Amino acid sequence: MTKVVHPYAQRLGILRDWKSRWFASGPKYAENLRADILIREWLEKRLRGSYVSSIEIERSRKFVRIMIKTSRPGMIIGRQGDTAQKLRKDLFKFMKKKNIKIAEEVKIDILEVASPDSDAAVIAYGIVEALEKRMPFRRAMKMTKEKVMAVRGVKGVRIVVTGRLNGAEMARREEVKEGSIPLQTFRADVDYAMERANLPYGVLGVKVWINRGLVFEDKK
């Protein structure tokens, strides 16, 4: 019997680092875990459309650092940082509403993704945006595959779209693939992301795997 393992989780401690980095025990652990989950869910919902790749959280006794990695930092920062300041204020209001303890110092860093065309989360959202704008799914998948394979260092890409494609009564699955996606090779830098496209006739699921080649030293 086979078991599907998330490519990110499978490479934790080898190529990947944890997205929440802190140490706690007992009730403090549960408190921090709940806070991280709620903050991450709120930010993902609030920043939908800003091409966010990942949200990482670091904690110490008096300090919390939230790192938002995106391919379009200007959309989050805004003119002279106005949008970022509003985001910070709204986050504090949300934390008070949910009874999340606010640290003495909370820092929000907005970082730019170095290569957005080889980032699975950014690519997956690009496909979702195209589908929600009524682009034919086969065309969206083919264009995306060609764009990803044109990036230097990318060895393979796989895109899967499932659901009521073109409004068909029965849900089905379509897939495009080029190159290799070695899921069981730990040193293979395989990036994975899943997104949802909300269409009038239902929800379509989009999954993207990108193989960025073998890594022979720590890459975190």
Residue 107: count of CB within 10 angstroms of its CB: 12
Structural domains present in the chain: 7-112 (3.30.300.20), 116-214 (3.30.1140.32)
Burial of 206: CB neighbours in 10 Å, binned 0-12, 13-18, 19+: buried
Q: Please state the separation of Cα 27 from the chain's center in Å.
A: 29
- The answer, yes or no, to whether residue 219 has pLDDT greater than 60, is no
% of residues, the chain, pLDDT over 70: 97
Say yes or no to pLDDT of 54 above 70. Answer: yes
Reduced to 3 states (helix: H, G, I; strand: E, B; else coil), residue 214 is: strand
Tokens at residue 79, please?
């003119």
Q: Report the C-alpha gap between 220 and 204 in whole angstroms.
A: 32
pLDDT of residue 217: 67
DSSP 182: -
CB within 8 Å of 199: residues ≥ 6 apart: 131, 132, 164
Residue 1 has pLDDT above 50, yes or no: no
Phi-psi region of 89 (alpha: psi -120 to 50; beta: other; left: phi over 0): alpha
Is 147's pLDDT higher than 60? yes
Report which residue type is found at 34.
R
Judged against a pLDDT cut of 80, whether residue 66 lies above it is answered with yes
pLDDT at 2: 61
The residues pairing with 210 across neighbouring beta strands, listed in sequence order, are 157, 191
Query: Which residue, among 81, 85, 50, 82, has the nearest Cα to 68 in the 3D structure?
Result: 50
Rounded CA separation 107/100 (Å): 16
Rounded to whole angstroms, the Cα distance separating 135 from 133 reads: 6
Amino acid at site 125:
Y
Which two structure tokens, joined as six digits, stand for 48? 């939908």
Q: Token pair of 169, please?
A: 């009564």
80 band by pLDDT with thresholds 50, 70 and 90 = confident
Helix residue ranges per DSSP H, 47-188: 73-77, 82-97, 120-132, 137-149
Mean pLDDT in residue range 93-113 = 92
Q: Does residue 163 surpass a pLDDT of 50?
A: yes
Per residue in 106-143, pLDDT (tens digit) is: 999 999 999 999 999 999 999 999 999 999 999 999 99
C-alpha 208/C-alpha 189 separation (Å) is: 14
Q: Model pTM?
A: 0.90
Contact 65, 57 (CB under 8 A): yes
